[in-house]
Every structure is written in C-alpha cells, then in structure tokens.
Amino acid sequence: MPTSIAVNAAFPRSSSRRLMKQFCCLAFVAHWITFGCLFCLLNFCFLESITASAAERTDQTLLDVFPPSVATVSKDTQGRTSISLEYTPSTSLWAKGLDEKQVFHAQIQHEQDENNSFTLRIGKGGQIYSLRGPFGESVPPSCTGKGPSRSPWNDEVWQFVTVCSRYNGTKALKRSGTVPESALEALTALPYRSTFFIHNSGAYIPDSQSIKNLYCPMLAASSTEDQRAYRSLTWGLVPQVRTIHRSPILYYNQVRDIGNGIIELTWVVHNFSAREDIVFDFLNAPWGGTRHTSLPHHAISLPDNTLKPRSSFFTPEKPGGTVSLRKTGGWKIASVSEDNHASSLALVFGRDKHLEEEQAKAKRGEPYCQRGGGMLRDFLAHYPQLYDSIWKDWETRPENSFRNYDVIEMIPNMTLRPGESIWYRSFLVVNQHDEANSIAQSLVDDIDYGLVEFSLSDTPRVPVYLVDNKVLENPPAGTEPATYLFARPVPGSHPVFLMEDTATGQEIISTDLYRFVPSEPLTLGIPQEHPNSEYYNTARGYSLDKNHCRWKRLLGFGLTAKPKENKSRLLSTVLPENIFPAPDTTHLDLWSAASK
C-alpha cells in the first residue's frame, strides 16, 4: 500500500507501524548518541523505508489492470479527496447487532459543496457498504433477517455478481437433462447448497455462533498515485458457506473520486477456472441499491433524456420486472423528495454502447463478451406485500428495523469464459436533483465495458522472495528472488497465492484457494447419460465456515504451458516442497515468468 495518503488521510497500518517504530527509536537514541550516530540511524531508517515500500509497489503493480478514466471535471470543480484506512464509527444506523468495525476497510471522503460532498466506505470484501451524502446514509441497513438469510453487508451493498447458469441449482440440473427424483432428493437433502453465484462482498452467515462474518479475502489493495482512487483485489466467494462449487473468480475493484459528486466504479473480473465448462453468463454490473427512507422517490430516464417515475416502467403485477437499457436514457435517479433541488443519488449504467459491434464480432468468430442487450431491474423489496401490512408505518418507524431496500440490478448480458477477463465501468452521482440529472446525462457515453487482454510482453514481472523458507514481502537488501511471476492474468496463466494454515501457522504457495477448507466427497448418483453428470458426480462438499485459512495475498500468475523463454522454470523446481506442496488436480505446477 502507498506510504502516503491525501492530506488528513490516515496512513495504511503497515506504513503507520513502520513510521511509529522509527519515531520511537529516534526519540530514545537522541538522548544517548552523538550527532554522527544519529545521522547514521536516520540514513538506516531512510533505507528501511525504501525497502519496506517493496510490498506496496508490488500491490500497485498487481492492481494496474484498469483501463484509463475518461470522465473529467475542471480543476476548480474537483473538490478535495482524502483516503483513510483508520476506522471511526459512522453515524449510520445499521441492523441491530451489527458491528461496522468488522466490515470496514477504507474510506474515501469528498469535500466540496454541501450538495455534492460525500463519504464512501469500502468493506473488507471490496464492496461499497456505506455512502453518506446530503441525503444521509444511502446504503440499506442490512436487515436481512436471521438464520440462513443473515448477511451483514454482503447482499445490500454495491458489488459485482457473477452467475454460472449451467450449474446454478436443481432447476439448472433438470433443464439440462432427465434426472431421477431420487437424485434430486439426495442433492436437496445435502447440507451443501447447489446454487452457483459469486459475490464481490462475502458470504451469508447461517449460524452466528460459528462465525461472525466471512468477507471475500482481500489479496491486494492500494491507493492510486494521484490519491483520488482506491483499488482492491478480492477472491469472490460463493455466498453459501456450505457449497458443492469452487469459486474461480477474481474481482479487481476501483473506486475513483472524479469530482463534482461523481464516483466512478470500475471492475475487472477474471475467471481462472481450469474447467472449460465453468462459464459465467449472468452478471450484475452492479448489484446495489438505496435506503428507501433516505431516498424514496425514484425516476428513470427515457431515450429523449426526460425522466419518468419508476412505476411507469413496470406493471403493478410485476414491480420486479426488467426494462431494456435501450428503452432508457442510460441512468436513473433516487431523491429525498420530488423537489427539483432535492438531494439525490444517480446511477449511470449506459445504453449498450458496444452491442452491435460485439454481435458483429460473434458472427465473424472473433472474441467477444456481450451476447445481447442489457436489462435494468429497479424495485422496492417486498413491495407491496409488506408495505401494505407490517411495514405500512415505514416513514416513522426506525430506519434499521426493517429491510429498508430499493434494489438496483444492472444485467449487462455478458459472458465470462475460463481464462478470460472482462471489465465494466459505471458511475454514481451525488448532487441536487436537477444537477445530478444533468451530470448523469453527460456521463452516459463514458460507460464502457468489454474483454480485456494482457500481453506477455507488456506485463511486468513480480519477484517472489524466500528467506529461511519463508515468503517475505520486504526482503533484506541484496536478496535474490526465488522466482518471478506475471503481474496480470496473461493468456494461458493461473493465479498463485500465499496462504497460511491458521491451525499450524504453516505458510504455503499454492493455486488451490480451498487447500485449508474442509471438504468431503459426495454421492449424488446423477445418471451417466446426463450431460452434466461428470461435474456433479465428482463434486465435493465444502465448508467455508470451518476454514482454517488466512488468504494472505496474490503473488502473481504462472503459465500452464511451457513458454519459449529459456529462463522459465516449473515452480516445483525452484520452490521448496514445504512451501510449494506436491502438485495435484487443484494445486497446479506452473511455469514461472522470466525476469526482465
């Protein structure tokens, strides 16, 4: 992480500990040593600071995957941005029993005018779990009930979601072929769920006695050099902690403060599955929404850039339906009231900018990711049922006493295949209604997305250092790397991770993120003639709630096939076996990157 943050922003914990150590050391020796010794000590601290930043530079390199920003404002309307990793309680009301400190990772604060200033908070899973503006707290209070539906800051947040339709539950199994009732009953009776979607936040918490939370492991994080954006990399989790599926999704997340109340959201999503059939073909970019008590009035733009109430887009019989993006102007807005100057939050999602181009690529047999037109779903959760009964007093009851949630789901109709990376960019706008509306309209053409490919020749190499059979982020000066990996998911690569067995303290380098997650073989009895029988009959049941793993960081990417570079080596030949276990079907032996 960076060694400095914008003015008044807190240092990252690693940096603050390092600087405090240096300060205390200097304060002690100043009374006892000569000026010459003090000069030597200052020089040593300077060298240590340079060395210690190696890990921070590595994170910045690993996170340098995002296409450049194109939305800009003039300098006099940029306002002031500060980024902090120091937790302070917010004034937002959350569901009873939730402790915000458990989810907090970083804060971006934008200070400008009363109408467009905001404070945005990023959770430990990379999700946006809080966005306070002149309208108060805009993110729902996470009142998602008890038991299996309990989901603190995992569902009602701004995040990316990927779904593998082929293996998503029993309905998908029945759709793809004939399945005996006994096999369906066996699958349903398992303590493991068969739904297959992956959060960019974390997992549902079925039993508060076993774990308090399980957020997507953060594998890298850093501010950008201009200190106006924060980047993170997380491993996406199947939100059911007991599952038959393995997640192969990496979420790269970037939140940028453009200025004038504009928040740019950019995701790069990588599918590292070694199986060709693990395709994610239903995406949310993003899934999110607003707190109904803060922003109860909703409108959606038309292609002529006028606004119509949300209710006019959806029938009363189907308020949770969808509307084509091409039937909108490319944005929606939620407001405190119907006044033209009301505090508001707009979401800009675009109008399928590359649809025809992508479909033409598909016809020519070229790489593409968008199959068809995108759709928007925008509705008040549990309306009208509960709002006509137990929640009819919603305007006066405590805002954290019910599922206070207007759902926004942007469905881009894109496909993410194994080995591919896609990206998507959208915007939030904090401002008065008319100004937010005008800004949102101006940003529609800046919505962008598509496949992204990283070339072998242009991708930096990142070193892996071993000292006394232990991976070090900040090795002593002169230490030679044990090996090199690619910084980005280049074609034909697979990610390599540093993990710790929390039961023993052992650290390993592995491609298998489930190495320290208890699992068991299952007997599902899917008929061999079923097209998906191999997947289900070799499935295992995973218990993420019983994991004994600390997923520490991404080390880089190795190649699955031997490259032409003569200096490339199999990881098993350059890493000791106690660090890099013997390869198997899930822990792969990869080829290193040659140093540049």
Tell me what the mean pLDDT of segment 126-135 comes to.
Answer: 98
pLDDT of residue 403: 93
3 state SS of 565: coil
pLDDT of the residue at 97 = 85
- Show the DSSP H helices in 244-351 as ranges: none
Counting beta carbons within 10 angstroms of the beta carbon of residue 314, is it exposed (0 to 12), middle (13 to 18) or buried (19 or more)?
middle
pLDDT of residue 6: 33
Percentage above 90 pLDDT, the chain:
82
The predicted-structure confidence for 404-441, as pLDDT tens digits, reads as follows 999 999 999 999 999 999 999 999 999 999 999 999 99
Q: CA-CA distance, 281 to 188, in Å (whole number)?
A: 24
- Write out the two tokens for 175: 């759709």
Q: Which residue type does 80 have?
A: R
User: In this model, does residue 14 exceed pLDDT 80?
Assistant: no
Q: What is the pLDDT of residues 223-267, one digit of tens each?
A: 999 999 999 999 999 999 999 999 999 999 999 999 999 999 999
Main-chain dihedrals φ then ψ at residue 331, nearest 5 degrees:
-155, 165
* Weakest-pLDDT range from 166-170, 300-304, 473-477, 511-515: 473-477
Residue 278 contacts by C-beta under 8 Å, 6 or more apart in sequence? 164, 167, 248, 271, 418
Q: Per CATH, is 77-451 categorized as 2.70.98?
A: yes
Block residue for tokens 């959806």: 314
- Chain centroid to Cα 465, Å, comes to 27
Mean pLDDT of all residues in 436-461: 97
- Of 368, 360, 367, residue with least CA distance to 412: 368
Q: In sequence order, what are the beta bridge partners of 122?
A: 106, 128
Q: How confident is the model at residue 357 (pLDDT cuts 50, 70, 90)?
A: very high
205-219 in b/e form (b: 16+ CB < 10 A) is bbeeeeeebbbbbbb
Peptide bond before residue 89 is cis, with ω within 30 degrees of 0: no
**Strand ranges for 206-342 from DSSP E:** 218-223, 229-235, 242-243, 249-259, 262-271, 282-290, 297-301, 307-309, 322-324, 331-335
User: Shortest CA distance to 193 belongs to which of 544, 547, 579?
Assistant: 544
Q: Tell me, what's the pLDDT at 26?
A: 36
283 burial type by CB count under 10 A (0-12 exposed, 13-18 middle, 19+ buried): buried
Provide the whole-model pTM.
Answer: 0.90
Radius of gyration of the chain (CA): 25
- 144: confidence class by pLDDT, cuts 50, 70, 90: confident
Q: What value does the mean pLDDT of the chain take?
A: 90
Measured distance CA(274)–CA(587) in Å, rounded:
11
pLDDT band at 53 (very low <50, low <70, confident <90, very high): low
Q: Which of 209-213, 317-321, 529-533, 571-575 has the lowest mean pLDDT?
A: 209-213
Quick one: DSSP state of residue 98? Answer: -
**Peptide bond connecting 384 to the previous residue in cis, omega within 30 degrees of 0:** yes
**Antiparallel, parallel or unpaired: β 282-290 and 229-235:** unpaired
316 or 414, which is more confident: 414
Domains of the chain, residue spans: 13-62, 77-451, 461-574
Query: What is the per-residue pLDDT for 10?
Result: 33
Contact criterion met (CB below 8 Å) for 329 and 303: yes
Sheet holding 118-123, edge to edge: 80-84, 104-111, 118-123, 128-133, 136-137
Three-state DSSP class for 149? helix
**Within a 10 A sphere around the Cβ of 15, how many other Cβ atoms?**
20
* pLDDT of 467 strictly over 80: yes
Task: Report d(CA 244, CA 23) in Å as an integer.
Answer: 51
Q: What's the mean pLDDT in 156-176?
A: 97
CA angle 11, 13, 19 (to 5 degrees): 65
Q: Is the confidence at residue 47, as pLDDT, over 60?
A: no
DSSP element (H, E) containing 421: strand 421-432
Range list of β-strands (E), 291-418:
297-301, 307-309, 322-324, 331-335, 343-348, 375-380, 406-411
- pLDDT-based confidence at residue 316 (cuts at 50, 70, 90): confident
Is residue 146 very low, low, confident or very high in pLDDT (cuts 50, 70, 90)?
low
pLDDT of residue 424: 98
Q: What is the pLDDT of residue 143?
A: 84
